[in-house]
Amino acid sequence: MPQLFLNENSCETTADPDRVNRAMTELVKAIVAVARVDRQGTELVSREPVNALQLAQGHPIGKWIGTPAAKDLWKRLLQMQTKWPHQKVFPEGETFSDVEYRHGGELATGLGIAHLMGGVGISLPLEARWAEDRITLVREELVDDEDTGSVVTKVKVRHAAHAAHVDSHLPWIREEKEAALRGDLSAIRTGAELWDRCADLFPHLRFLPHVEAQLRELKQYWVHPVRKRLAEMDSAVLLWDAATELDGPRWGSAVTPERSTRKRDYCKFTDLDGAPQYFDTHLRFTPDEGRLHFRFVAATRRVHIAHIGRKLGI
C-alpha cells in the first residue's frame, strides 16, 4: 500500500501563477501514475485537507482546479483515499515526538513521516532541490543516553515530483501490492503484526517471554529492519552446516559480543529453561542504537532471543 506524503516545504515558495499550476499538474500526474499500479492501496497524506492546500504563497489549490488541465486530474485526486493531518496514519499511541527530520536546515515534516512510515514523499516541482527520485534528510532522534542525548544520521526517502520519478519506484510499488495480497512478511507494518506471525515465519527462532512486549511496542520505523534481521537469522540457521561451519551459522549481518563490563551488567537473562544465561552476542538493526541480543543453541538448532530494542543500559 503506497502512502504518498505531501512535502509541505515545496508549497511554501513564491512563483508565477502559471508555473505553480503547471507544477501541480505534474505532481498530480505522478500521483496518478502510482495509483495506476495500485489503485486500491494508494493513499495521499497531507498536513491539511486536499481542497484546502496552499500550493504556493497566495496560491490556493482552487486556482489550479479552475484551469483546463486540472479538470480530469482533479476528479482522479478526489477519488483517491486521502488522510489528514499526518497523525491519522500513525500507529496507535505513537507520536514520533522523539524524532525530527530536516532538509537544507529546514524542518521537513512530510518527508520525514514518509521515511518513518516507509512511504513516498511527493513535492511540487518548483525548485531544483525536489528534482530527484530520492531525497536525503538529516534525522535527529532523542535517545535515553546521558552522554549522547540524541543521534543524528542521514537517511534517504523515496520521492516523486514528476511521473518520471515514479518509474524508479515501480518495482517497490508492485512488490508492496503483491505482498499485501499474499499477506507475507513484506506486508507487515506494525510490531503487533510481526509478533503474531513470528512462530510461522521464523520457526528456528525462540523468544524470551518479555520480548513479546518489545515487539508489539516496536516503533513503526523499526519494524522493517527488525523483520529483515529476524528473517536473515532464521535463514542462516536453516542453511547452517554443523560439520563445516564450526563457529555457527553465517548470520548475514555483523554480529559482535559485548565487552566484559557490559556483559556482566546488562546481558544476563533467564533463558527458556529457567536457567540464567548471558546473551551478550548481538547485532544491530539500525546504524545507531537498535540492538538484538541472542544466543545460538547448537544442540537444538535454535536461536534464543532476549532483547529487541534500544542498546541495553541506555
Cα(77)–Cα(193) distance, integer angstroms: 31
**Widest Cα–Cα separation across the chain:** 73
Helix (H) or strand (E) holding 255: strand 255-257
Residue that the C-alpha cell 538493526 belongs to: 285
Cα(146)–Cα(143) distance, integer angstroms: 8
For the chain, the first-to-last Cα distance in angstroms comes to 35
Cα(139)–Cα(244) distance, integer angstroms: 43
Q: Respond yes or no on whether the N-terminal peptide bond of residue 85 is cis (omega within 30° of 0).
A: yes
Cell of 99: 524524532
pTM across the whole model: 0.70
Cα(98)–Cα(150) distance, integer angstroms: 9
- Nearest Cα neighbor of 133 from 153, 159, 98 is 159
pLDDT tens, the chain, 314 aa long: 689 999 999 999 999 999 999 999 999 999 999 999 998 889 999 999 999 999 999 999 999 999 999 999 999 999 888 999 988 887 666 677 888 999 999 999 999 999 888 889 999 999 999 999 999 999 888 765 555 678 788 888 999 999 999 999 998 888 778 767 666 676 788 899 999 999 988 999 999 999 999 999 998 888 888 988 998 899 889 889 898 888 899 887 778 888 888 899 999 999 999 999 999 999 988 766 789 999 999 999 999 999 999 989 87
The size of the chain, in residues, is: 314
